[in-house]
Every structure is written in C-alpha cells, then in structure tokens.
Structure 1
C-alpha cells in the first residue's frame, strides 16, 4: 500500500523518529490522541464512503500512531486544542466522554502538555486544520498538515 493510500502511515513514520511534537487542532482531536471509537467515527465520515476494510486499515495505522505515547522515551508532545475540538460531540456523548477522559489521562500521565484555545480568541491563522511541528535529533524539523481526508509531510524548514 502506498503512503498516498494511508496518509496516517506517513505520520507514523515521522512520529516514531521525532523527539518533540507541537500540534494544533482546530476541528478534530489529532490522530495521535484519538481513541479507537472516536477515530472510527472520524474515518467513517467524509464525502467519499469507505469500505469496512479500508476504514479498518486506516484505523489500525491511526491507533499505531497513538502507541508511541505509551513509552516515556517517546517524543515530548505539546498539544493546543481549539475549544471546538472539545465541544463537538463526535460519535455521540459516550464516545466523546471517553475521548475527553483519554486526553485528560494523557495530560495527567505527563505524556502530553495540553492547552485549549478558547472561542473568545476569535479568528486566527490556524483555523483550517491540524498542523504538527516535529523536531528530530539528526534531521531537520518538519511540519505535518492533517485534514479530514488527507495528511501531508514534510514541509521542511
């Protein structure tokens, strides 16, 4: 399978090598922080329907990305979430409750430093989607841009 068929695979490759990740999410919880139920809802939405097999393949890669946060030698992560990310009930109340508890647990375990950009800030330059900035020990930093149906890297500095 080509990277173009599964954009999360490209993110997985970069995230597994990085030492620091800074990300901002305007609309959805970033893929690396998503629970299985939340990710299933996100991957099942969109203009182009996916087969169960295609959705499950994408889901598997997305969940593998989250696995790097289980190791204290994994990247340091700072995540800035727009308030809309926390208030939009993806998958309904139960799925969203579990997702929010998961994010809170990652913060409590010091795996992710979480910040919320409140609605009162108004318009800003990052309203369009998710951007992750990644630093490496022996490579130049990159930016990974993630949307509902796409993911693209690297945008090198």
Structure 2
C-alpha cells in the first residue's frame, strides 16, 4: 500500500484566473533565495509529514478549485515582528484540475486526497479556456 498523504486547500484572494495566479507567482519568485513560489502562513501545519508525503495545495479561484501545486517543503520564516511563520514551498508547475465549487473560508484547510478534484488530462488542459462563469455553472450542475 502506498503512502497516505493529505492536501491543503486555500483561497487565492484577488486572483481572477489560473493564469493570473501563475503570473502572480512569477512576480514573487525573484524575492526568494531559491526562486520557488511559496505561501507564507501564520500557522504551522500539524500534519507536516502527511503534507510532505505527496500533498499539494489546491487553489480556490472565484469560488472553485481550479488548480494545484505540489508542496515541496515547509520552511521557517521569522518576520520583522519576530513572529515565527511557515513558508509552504511549492513546485512552480501549476496543475489544472477539474472545477470543484467551494464556499469562502479563512486561512487554509486540510483536504483529504479522497476529496480532491482530479487533475485535467493532457487532452483537457485547454479546458481553462472556458470562461470561469461557464465552468462554475457547469460544475454546479455536475457536468465538470
């Protein structure tokens, strides 16, 4: 039996599309020592081993999960205020997923692998060309 792992789910606040999230990460990369994208959070995940055993962060954009990035490691970051934070270091490759509706929430949440939307197949990667409103409407009726 393979390793069990858990994912995270996080709202991508202010992002309008997967391409917008990719562009935002690209502008932030030069600010990091290794050039890898990261999300800094106040809370350190208690399920660190499960996250690092194959987990990803699933991004909610405009009310739906639309993509994910594999979690590479967790780094300690001490802010100018002296408070310890967690930098979730991510693989720069953005993997588009099937659209899955999500209600707003604060922070991040654990997302069991069994509840995570499937990745889009190579043949469907261009599906993101659908307007987000249409993709969301199709997800609401169970088509996507």
- Regarding TM over 0.5, the answer is no
Larger helix percent: 1
TM-score interval for Structure 1 and Structure 2 normalised by the shorter chain: under 0.3
Q: What is the TM-score with the length of structure 1 in the denominator?
A: 0.25
Q: What is the TM-score with the length of structure 2 in the denominator?
A: 0.27
Q: Which has the higher contact order (CA 8 A, sep 6+)?
A: 1
